[in-house]
A = this chain, B = another copy of it.
């Protein structure tokens, strides 16, 4: 493999000195880019785009051509695992992901197959290989998966949800079946992320998009415990370098100490928690990723720069911070505002990395 030309992202994750704060954006390969929309149209539907390694590589590269991002993230979906388990993932215009089959009983859980991710999700590992070749050492590649709890919510609800009533009722009424489901998913996610690492992913992120809708006790038992299992089972090193794990629970600000104690290398923050407060709590233990409100990208260059400056100042001097949005970029942001965002991070952060 080619040596990494820009390893700012990996250095920051390890808490090592950098010249400026690295930056990337969740969902950076996405609908806000006209070239993404063109490629997606070419592919047909969203899953056909995910399943075509060359096109998945193309959309992964698109934001890197426009912006000085310090990392690439595999273009895929968080729900590939339940899809490979036979749940039938599809997307409806403006309504997000849906499943043709739902899980509603212990028997449904029993019948879900154990995945052979190397075979069942080879389209993902193929994409990882193709992207690594194309990146040619320019920046590191991030692999990812949804968390077991987050995957389970979609599998049980059959779609997104406002109140997750079915997933929660299943959890309250059939805790054993729920644990069996989460255990199965945790095994699949572990294998899946390890397959991505074997194919070339240099860091991995677990997206716990819906952990924050749980009570603290339910979060511990039904979400965090399974992410902890995954972290423990991941390949620690690849190509002679540590493979860091980023754990991101949206609305997880109340549980930072416990998340940091999971064994992960970095805690992803949404925008509701102050990064300075998060650093004081867990900065000695893990690095931090985040935490700008994505809606600021709807505002003006002046407001974007001011918010970047505020967050950098709040984090303060020294390494250990990967700048990012607190959630994925939204579809109708002006791509010019993303340039302002990335440039502001690089420019304004240098003063915090002087010694």
- Decide if the interface of chain A is mainly helix, strand, loop or mixed: helix
Report Cα–Cα, A216/B296, bound state, in Å: 14
- Chain copies in complex: 2
- How many chain-A residues does the 8 Å CB contact rule pick out? 34
CB pair A164–B295 under 8 Å, yes or no, is yes
Q: Is A254 interfacial (CB 8 A cutoff)?
A: yes
**Cα of A303 to Cα of B215 in the assembled complex, Å:** 14
Q: Does A159 contact B (CB under 8 A)?
A: no
Given contacts A165-B295, A295-B164, contact A217 B272 (CB under 8 A): no
A165 to B164, CA, bound (A): 24
Known contacts A163-B330, A294-B163; A272 and B212 CB within 8 A of each other:
yes
Q: Which chain A residues in 213-233 approach chain B with CB under 8 Å? A: 213-219
Of the candidates B168, B169, B271, B330, which one forms a contact with A215 in the assembled complex, judged by CB atoms under 8 Å apart? B271
Q: Could you give 27 example pairs across A and B, Cβ below 8 Å?
A: A163-B294, A165-B295, A165-B330, A168-B295, A169-B298, A169-B299, A172-B296, A172-B298, A172-B299, A172-B300, A173-B303, A212-B272, A213-B272, A214-B272, A215-B271, A215-B272, A215-B274, A215-B293, A216-B272, A216-B273, A216-B277, A217-B274, A217-B310, A218-B293, A219-B272, A251-B251, A254-B272
| Chain A residues close to B by CB (< 8 Å) | 163-165, 168-169, 172-173, 212-219, 251, 253-254, 271-274, 277, 293-296, 298-300, 303, 307, 310, 330
